[in-house]
Amino acid sequence: MMFRRIVLSVGVVATAVFAYMAMQPEPVTIIDDGVTMVHESRGESVLDVLEETGIVVDESDVVTPALSADIPLDRVIQIERARTVSLQIGYGQIETIETRERTVEDVLLRYGVSVRDGDDVYPGVRTPITSGMTIRYQPVVALDVIVGDEAKTVHTMAQTVEQALQEANVTVSDKDTVEPALATPVRDGMTITVNVSRDVVQYENRLIPFEIVREEDDTLALGETEVVQVGVPGLERTRYALTVENGTITNRTETSVETLRTVRPQIIKLGTRIVAEPEANQETEQEQEETATTEPSSPFREEAEIKIEETPRAEDVLDFTSAKQLLVEATAYTNNAEDTITFDGRVLTRSGYDVTDTILYEGMRIIAVDPAIIPLGTRVYVEGFGMAIALDTGSAIKGNKIDVMMDSKEEAVTFGRQPLTIWVIPKQEEKEGTDDA
């Protein structure tokens, strides 16, 4: 009898111990829209844990596992929050949407929009999505505009023929004949004619690549390079004769080619002088070879607000055949401290390049751009300036705009604001046997 009482007492104690242990809280990891927290919980389901923490989810949010599910074995609960965003595509109505996408580009892709160069996107495609944000996307269309006996291609975000002609600085009088009508909606590839003529002349400019000349120089240390002459591509203007029938181009014939600017080669000096070290610090032959072949360090500071993926080099091969011509609105600024970023008393571009004592990079004029249109580090041929390089950005430089760095405030004020033609020149992927462009 005594033995049975002892056994029953032990059983009751064990049951109480197990019940107590079962009630002890255990850690659960909650990842709420990328933010991680750890909560000690006694709950058995996902809903129990979220109620304990006071976390509220909406119907449009996604919880993994589901609210009704038991806590998973890995004890991790993930919440993807939906954000309310206003979206306007083209000239359509502004639509309010719920989205769990991470960036502006992801949202546009979800709606079947693939952003092209020149398209107007605000904010930029890499901007993280936040609730209450408004996204505006306006695609650029290419139109052929024929005025009298001349034709040109216009890239525009205009909605109607009348707006497109205004952007192209074409004045239409009551006596002019315009086809199609001024109120006609524009579409990609449309031809607009003013005072229709069957004999039309069209001009097209294109860049001619420069040669990169490398010369050995025994005044420079082995492995050092110096750009002594910046290459300038040539510029050719080709004249075409067009046949227009009922507002449509039916024939296009090249009639002449005129050289507007001659090519100037890029000359790079290559150091050949071997610098002798004191005997105590003599390097081995292998160490000297490694030093000679080591890539020069990047001239960009770590304090840069915007990183350049790959440091541009003077010997980079450029693909002039893929150069994209753009009409931009150009303004000017200086390397004065009040105009840009300073660090330890030095004036830096937003890419981290020191412009305290220069407005050039390897002989090229520095310009500020919208990186969504022109990636930082890209070479650009600028009408009236020659070769330039995109190394800076600006809060007002959005879309087809550039800011040209000047030596003085007076020069910048005189330059003012004006339209310029530029060519964006991509870096060519080097292949075995490829000649220098």
Between 80 and 390, the more confident residue is 390
With the C-alpha atoms ordered 152, 155, 156, 160, is the resulting torsion angle positive or negative? positive
Between 201-205, 278-282, 309-313, the lowest mean confidence (pLDDT) is in: 278-282
In angstroms, the CA 6 to CA 14 distance is 12
- The CATH code that applies to domain 141-197 is 3.10.20.30
The arithmetic mean of pLDDT across residues 229-250, rounded, is: 83
Hey, what are 49's tokens? 């844990």
Domain ranges of the chain: 2-80, 83-138, 141-197, 301-425
8 A C-beta contact, residue 403 and residue 416: no
- Write out the DSSP string of 55-82: ----TTSEEES-TTSBPPTT-EEEEE--
**Cα distances (angstroms) measured from residue 354 to each of 60, 336, 347, 369, 405:** 48, 12, 6, 17, 13
- Domain 301-425, CATH class in plain words: mainly beta
- Domain 83-138, CATH class in plain words: alpha beta
Confidence class for position 233, pLDDT limits 50, 70, 90? very high
> Domain 2-80 is of which CATH architecture?
Roll (3.10)
Whether 15 shows a pLDDT value over 70: the answer reads: no
b (16+ CB within 10 A) / e for 308-326: beeebebebbbebeebeeb
Q: Which residue has the tokens 């002019």?
A: 176
Domain 2-80 and domain 141-197 have a common topology: yes
In angstroms, the CA 261 to CA 381 distance is 12
Whether 83 shows a pLDDT value over 60: the answer reads: yes
**Span 136-169, pLDDT tens digits:** 887 788 899 988 778 888 888 788 999 889 888 8
Whether 283 shows a pLDDT value over 60: the answer reads: no
Greatest Cα pair distance, the chain, in angstroms, is 122
**Span 331-358, pLDDT tens digits:** 999 998 877 778 888 999 999 999 999 9
